[in-house]
Amino acid sequence: MNFEFEPKDIELIAQRVVELLQPLLSVRPRENEDHLFDVKGLSKYLHVNPSWIYKQISLKAIPYFKSGKYVRFKKSAIDRWIDINTIRPIPFEKAKNKG
């Protein structure tokens, strides 16, 4: 079974597809962009006091960079830092056998 579409039909189908996809395409953030935090923004993101952030900077314990005199944090680097510093639970069987 073969169908042949008229050019005007193909154009109408294409326009409808674009209409349906447009909301999905405009909502998604660009994957290659990285959000930057200042100290205040990072403290809100991590739910900590800004003084804790400054302490981690002085200890070089948190990933940051300086833009002139301003300290900034890449969200992707902070998320990796969180993942690396997350303490993983001991599986129940191993924990049960130790105690």
DSSP, residue by residue, 22-52: HHHHHHSPPTT---EE-HHHHHHHHT--HHH
**Average pLDDT, stretch 65-88?**
95
What are the tens digits of pLDDT across the range 78-89?
A: 999 999 999 988
**What pLDDT, in 10s, does the model give residues 7-54?**
888 888 888 888 888 877 765 555 557 899 999 999 999 999 999 999
What letter does residue 62 receive in the DSSP assignment?
Answer: S
Q: Which two tokens stand for residue 85?
A: 């510093």
pLDDT, residue 83, reads: 93
pLDDT at 3 over 90: no
Q: What does the radius of gyration of the chain's CA atoms come to, in whole angstroms? A: 25
pLDDT of residue 9: 83
Amino acid at 38: D
Which residue in 68, 43, 63, 65 sits closest to 53, CA to CA?
43
Q: Does the pLDDT at position 97 exceed 70?
A: no
**What's the pLDDT at 29?**
54
Q: What is the pLDDT of residue 78?
A: 97
